Chains A and B, each alone.
Chain A
Amino acid sequence: MKLSVIKAYMLKEFTELFRSKLIIMVYVMPSMIMLLFGYGIRMDVTHARTLIIDNDHSHFSRMLTAKFEHSKYFNAKLTQISEAEALHRIKQAKADIIVIIPSSFEKRILHGQHSEIGVFVDGAFPNRGMTMESYVQGVILDTAQSVGRSLGRQSGMISINSRNLFNQAMRDADAIVPGLIGLVLFVAPAILSALMIVKEKERGTIFNFYASPLGRGEFLAAKLIPGFLLHSLNIFILFLWATELFGVPFRGSFMLYWFAAEIYILISLSIGMLVSVITRKQVVAVVLTIIITIIPGFLYSGILMPISSMAGESYIEAHLFPVMYFNHIIYDCFLSGTGLASAKTVEYLGILIVYAALLLALGSMFLKKELK
């Protein structure tokens, strides 16, 4: 390994990256994914269009209506239309929820009789439907308690006192954005390193490596270090997007976040290198890298569902990819801040380091200095 040789080769790589404008992709793509997904994925529901048909016009029914109207989760509208007409509105996708208050609502409650409120929820998107349903139930339960209190009954038979840990505000961004960093830093460096090696194969310039005394280690170093340095900057850029734009809190150690992210980039670069071993065309390399990285990067990132709730094959698969380990650390850094005090974080960091070392070794083993 001669440092001057690596330096000269790296200089060539940087010159090419800048002159071929590939450098734009290195910085635009990660931020673009972050912004698109960050704004695009919304799990919580706000401003659900709610039609309330009040057939009772009583004090209690107005109380219930008011609760809906004052909630940020609903855009409630009191109407006089028929039930059939209201259902038609849902079909036309002009409303999400219908709440029907029966005509003798107050009277029955005052008589201590059972009363039913009709609720229809658009369940086209199951997740969203379930969320809306639970919101509606919450509002009704809340109203029922108020009603109970106003009737002077000692209603506090059951009361729910829930508090969300780690993501107290239950904000979507807090749950998704750290996972996105894990996704982006898995995809982008891999594409770059795959491109940088396969480009030489496709063009034919790889002969300069094959036919010269240049060592495999020198070649790999010259190919991986530029990607490593360039993407190291992305660690900071993505951090700023997360904390400044999406307002995600950061409670842990920045050094831990930084260190883990650098190791993670190394893993991603090695995956790209492995892809370049088996491909000859840049297009194929890019598509293959995207398939290999983006699917596990997304599915097993913990964005869609927590790994702990996975079962069987998906649980095993999740543990095979490095995404899960990194995301554990990153969510810890952003949301809980336990850091190295948690044995699991230390273990996962260790796994990441082993991963990086293993992939780098595999890559340099498979990269042959000869034509196929």
Chain B
Amino acid sequence: MADLEVRNVTVSYKKQIGIKAASLQANAGEIIGFIGADGAGKSSLMHAIAGVIRFEGEISYFSEVYHSPAEAEKIKPYMGLMPQGIGLVLYETLTVDEHLSFFAHIRNLRQDAAFKAYRQKLLHMAGLSDFTDRQAGKLSGGMMQKLSLICTLLHRPKLLILDEPTTGVDPLSRLELWEILDTIRKEEGTIILVSTAYMQEAAKMDRVLLFDEGEILARGRVSELIDSVRAYTYEEGACIGKDNAESGCLSFDKRSYSLDTLAAAHAEPTLEALFFVNALRKKRILPKIEIEARESTLEIPETVMEAKGLTKNFGDFTANDHIDMRLGSGEIVGLLGANGAGKTTFMKMLLGLYPIDEGELKLLGKSIKSSEDRQVLKAKIGYVSQHFALYKDMTVRENLIYFANMHRIPLSTALKRIERYARELGFDAYMEHLPGELPLGINQRFSVAAALLHEPVILFLDEPTSGVDTIARAQFWEMLHRLKATWGISILITTHYMSEAEYCDRVVLMRQGKKIADNTVKALYAKHPQARNFEDIFLSYYRSEA
């Protein structure tokens, strides 16, 4: 019998099923990865195992058997849960040090010399030794996640449950989190269950479970799972001519996927292939995207936007330190950097949401100085914020009409445009739904539609793909490339998925408020011949300058 056994666990909510009849086994020292789209049931199963939600079925951990949260009380001293959400379990006004004492106390740990040494070690591993007096609310996202993790590790749990600990965290912090986990499991023999949206991470786990619509579809070692989809994975370009959902062929990240046999060479699949093959099997593909030219004709100059020495201070903290950036016409620029590097601040300055403390900003050759200028600026830019600023109580159509009104677009024009975008971006079937009822991928599309209503020349996207599943991300990028081709629009985008950087024409890398690199993806690869993927390039910049 395995150390942890989950038998036929079902979690149901008022209206839907979270996870249906799931079983799994795990042994001490194992890391089990949970992968799957948003709402696939990963969190539900984790909550059931952690004993924080009611469930049907049986879970046994060594000799303890439990069927409900009340019965699970007896394993809680050995268990650690880190729920999903950046800094979710932290108290904003408490310092790092106070967090550690608080967690030690509520777990009733004896604070002897051995404990103090362990605590020091954790702080050191998390790179938080110098920040013990800082309040949690003032830490960057990556630091918050590391603090949450060491707070969860403080009582040396033997069963560690981590729900997307790395989502929204930059590659460097992600790597550091993994190093901590690996050390802990080796030293303590902990069972670790971890869900992740990053397939490179999933590839490092001992075993992986693929979740979809409340079920565990596939499970096994990474190599076994990859073998199972090898037959459907082809070289990039195999789909050409029939590249879309109806034809049963999908492409993303240098590979193409099809259930039919294609006359093309096979490629080495990654775990992402699981999602594509599953989607093709279930014929669950988001509608395709067709984009026509914009209505207004516009002479777009070579340089659309130019920033020179832009600086933003918050008190004595410099969020952006003399940053130069040029955005050419029809160019997609990726803005990358760790949490707290100043990406969002920079974008907000370009948008005219923050006044510029120092430096010059030119839009279409004109300098932006007064607040009237900033008004003009806003009219030329479409912006999709980090969490899609949609109104949850209005339908998709009402949301779009509202955004059109905000831009003072005549109603007749607006209605026509809304219909057109809905058709072209493939969400016309969802017009009367509330955003909360729709998949994230559809919300993402109609957020972009809302940002395009006033036919801007520039589109700003702040982490539009965080938390969106692989396939929706693939189609999102396809949409951006089509927009660029037919509209000649310039796009500035931030993302934490390093594989997405490769879809950009140029990449700007930021670190601690400064620009540390600005080059085409090709040139960056040429500079770093040893890099296997873009993540390696990102990390080499961060490490060399650290």
Contacts and interface: CB of A to CB of B under 8 A. Distances in A.
A15 B98 contact: yes
A207 B52 contact: yes
Given A16-B94, A210-B52, A8 B88 contact: no
B365 interface: no
Interface in A307-362: none
A221 to B, nearest CB: 12
Contact of A371 (B52, B73, B92, B108): B52
Interface in A1-42: 2, 4-5, 7-9, 11-12, 15-16, 19-20
Nearest to A215: B73
8 contacts: A5-B108, A8-B105, A16-B94, A210-B81, A211-B50, A211-B79, A370-B51, A371-B52
Interface of B: 47, 50-54, 69-70, 73, 76-77, 79-81, 83, 85, 88-94, 98, 101-103, 105-108, 135
B145 to A, nearest CB: 13
A370 B54 contact: yes
Nearest to A208: B89
Contact of A8 (B80, B89, B90, B106): B106
Contacts of A12: 91, 94, 98, 102
B106 A208 contact: yes
Contacts of B89: 204-205, 207-208
A5 B52 CA distance: 20
Closest 7 CB pairs of A and B: A8-B105, A204-B88, A19-B93, A211-B81, A370-B69, A210-B52, A371-B53
A82 interface: no
Given A207-B52, A370-B51, 9 more contacts: A4-B105, A8-B101, A12-B94, A210-B69, A213-B108, A214-B106, A368-B69, A369-B69, A371-B47
A9 B105 CA distance: 8
Given A8-B102, A9-B105, A9-B106, A213 B77 contact: yes
A259 to B, nearest CB: 33
Given A12-B98, A211-B52, A213-B76, A203 B106 contact: no
A15 B53 contact: no
A16 B91 CA distance: 8
A168 interface: no
Interface of A: 2, 4-5, 7-9, 11-12, 15-16, 19-20, 203-205, 207-208, 210-214, 368-371
A210 B89 CA distance: 11
A204 to B, nearest CB: 4
A247 to B, nearest CB: 41
A204 B106 contact: no
Contact of A204 (B69, B77, B80, B85): B85
Contacts of B88: 203-205, 207
A15 B93 contact: yes
Contacts of A19: 93-94, 135
B90 A205 contact: yes
A88 to B, nearest CB: 50
A16 B90 CA distance: 12
A370 B53 contact: yes
A212 B107 contact: yes
Contacts of A9: 102, 105-106
B93 to A, nearest CB: 4
Contacts of B51: 211, 370
Contacts of A205: 88-91
A340 to B, nearest CB: 42
Given A4-B108, A8-B106, A207-B83, A20 B93 contact: yes
A31 to B, nearest CB: 25
Contact of A370 (B52, B91, B101, B108): B52
Contacts of B52: 207, 210-211, 369-371
B112 to A, nearest CB: 15
Contacts of A203: 88, 91-92
B488 to A, nearest CB: 43
B152 to A, nearest CB: 9
Given A204-B83, A210-B52, A211-B79, A16 B106 contact: no
A12 B151 CA distance: 15
Contacts of B98: 12, 15
A51 B69 CA distance: 77
Contacts of B69: 210, 368-370
A204 B81 CA distance: 12
A370 B102 CA distance: 21
Contacts of A369: 52, 69-70, 73
Contacts of A212: 76, 106-107
A167 B80 CA distance: 63
A369 B85 CA distance: 20
B433 to A, nearest CB: 23
Nearest to B99: A12
Contacts of A4: 105, 108
Nearest to A205: B89
Nearest to B163: A207
A214 B89 CA distance: 15
A9 B98 CA distance: 11
A113 B192 CA distance: 106
A1 to B, nearest CB: 11
A197 to B, nearest CB: 14
A75 B135 CA distance: 62
Contacts of A211: 50-52, 76, 79-81, 83
A16 B93 contact: yes
A207 B89 CA distance: 7
A208 B102 CA distance: 10
Contacts of B135: 19
Contacts of A370: 51-54, 69
A8 B101 CA distance: 8
A3 to B, nearest CB: 11
A149 B166 CA distance: 97
A2 B50 contact: no
A191 to B, nearest CB: 19
A151 B89 CA distance: 89
A356 to B, nearest CB: 26
A2 B108 contact: yes
A12 B92 CA distance: 11
A5 B109 CA distance: 10
A9 B107 CA distance: 11
A190 B91 CA distance: 22
A261 B296 CA distance: 72
Contacts of A214: 106
Contacts of B54: 370
A56 B52 CA distance: 88
- Of A11, A204, A213, most buried by chain B (CB within 10 Å of CB) is A213
Contact of A5 (B53, B77, B83, B106): B106
Contacts of B94: 12, 15-16, 19
A18 B263 CA distance: 69
A15 to B, nearest CB: 6
Given A12-B94, A371-B47, A208 B103 contact: yes
Contacts of B80: 211
A128 to B, nearest CB: 44
Contacts of B102: 8-9, 11-12
- Of A9, A15, A212, most buried by chain B (CB within 10 Å of CB) is A212
Contacts of A7: 105
